[in-house]
Amino acid sequence: MQPGYEAAILKRLISAFENRRATVGIVGLGYVGLPLMLTYAETGFKVIGFDIDAEKVEKLNQGQSYIEHIRSKSIQQARAVGFEATTDFSRASEPDALIICVPTPLNAYREPDLSFILSTADALVPHMRPGQVMSLESTTYPGTTEEELLPRIEAQGLKVGEEVFLVYSPEREDPGNPEFNTRAIPKICGGVTPACQQAGIALYGAAVERVVPVRSTRTAELTKLLENIHRAVNIGLANEMKIIADKMDIDIYEVIHAAATKPFGFTPYFPGPGLGGHCIPIDPFYLTWKARQYGLHTRFIELAGEINNDMPQWVVNKVTDALNSCGKSVNGSRILVLGIAYKKDVDDMRESPSIRLIEILQKKGAEVAYSDPHVPVFPKMRAHHFMLNSVELTRESIASYDLLLLATNHSAFDYDLIQKHAKLIVDTRGVYLDNLANVVKS
């Protein structure tokens, strides 16, 4: 290898990003990958999207979006400047950057499931060439990038830090939040080597407003976990406080709103029927699993996880009590779940607590339906599927159910109509702050 060969590779790669001549490959075109693709396309890059789902690829190549808050017009604009989607991973040699945005779920034992990362890497790495940078964005435990991706790349005879470059830069998406787009959210980036770090900064600096370098991939991986565990622990506290307040006949939402008037030292977190989304219910368990390898027991994090995980059952107990107060049992009752997306005003159902609520209520013999303007038909999911369609909310349909369970507080719901015609409501989101005869706060 000629002297200066490695430096020349890095210099050419950085120049390609700075001059918008590089081609960017986004691997995994879901809630993270698709907004990232649009950001690079809007910035002037040619983008190739990779996904194993042929139906998604076909829709994108036809200019159609399958995510509610991403407009088809945006996909069409990206297509007009060269974006294309493919299921052919042998094309991985074409982009100058490969950004991996695939799921990292838990297995049945609540341990990290890296199968999506590993299968993706195994499909990409044989086609890599000198002059590429690979970035992992999927949330995972500290060490994944160096322990799993690095040896796979070097097994192909490519020297990381000299011929190809490897970084970890965690995704920071908040689906449906119009205040924060991908370009405006600061990007954490850690490289395996200093040269890798330079490549990663060039890759992301060309598309986002601020890149925050950290000294290693492990630092970046732990940063992402801290962000999400911080939320999980504080939501766990809010949920435990809700249980305590309920026993004391105190409105926890009034307490939180009152506490939030303090201008320093307090950040409001709100309770709910359980945690949802692909990050907060899952990420703490990635760290607790890894910590055990160091002989550490993450008691604080695990306790919050237990509290949050138990909330759906606590809500069902409130439903049971509410029906009993009217002389009814759950068995045989008609229950309508309001909102099955995991959070307000999105169509994202990943890890939604509403799914567990439906499962528990059905097992208890209830006849369960749902209404969600963002999810007209219950989608096929890896572990769950119900043959259900969203119920239109009319005065007649509302009145036909024994109980309405408010699980997700979508803005599109007519809460006055619901309260006026419902026989009984269990409110898990604090929508009805006043004391109403047919509303049970949960």
pLDDT tens string 55-114: 999 999 999 999 999 999 999 999 999 999 999 999 999 999 999 999 999 888 889 999
Q: Are 280 and 235 in contact (CB under 8 A)?
A: yes
Judged against a pLDDT cut of 90, whether residue 355 lies above it is answered with yes
What's the length of the chain? 442
CA 420 to chain centroid, in Å, comes to 35
Q: Give 433's Cβ-side CA count (13 Å radius).
A: 7
CATH architecture of residue range(s) 231-441: 3-Layer(aba) Sandwich (3.40)
Structure tokens at 22: 């590089």
Task: Judge whether 5-215 and 231-441 match in fold.
Answer: yes
Which residues are annotated as catalytic?
A: 279
pLDDT tens column, 252-270? 999 999 999 999 999 999 9
Note the pLDDT of residue 1. 46
Rounded CA-CA distance 91/57 in Å is 14
Note the pLDDT of residue 383. 67
Structure tokens at 243: 């249980």
- Domain topology for 5-215: Rossmann fold (3.40.50)
Residues 116, 192, 167, 295: what is their CA dihedral angle, to the nearest 10 degrees?
A: 50
Note the pLDDT of residue 179. 81
Rounded CA-CA distance 145/171 in Å is 14
Average pLDDT score over the chain: 95
Judged against a pLDDT cut of 60, whether residue 18 lies above it is answered with yes
Judged against a pLDDT cut of 90, whether residue 176 lies above it is answered with no
pLDDT tens column, 117-142? 999 999 999 999 999 999 999 999 99
Residue whose entry in the numeric block shows the structure tokens 């992301």: 204
Domain coordinates in residue numbering, the chain: 5-215, 231-441
Rounded CA-CA distance 36/25 in Å is 10
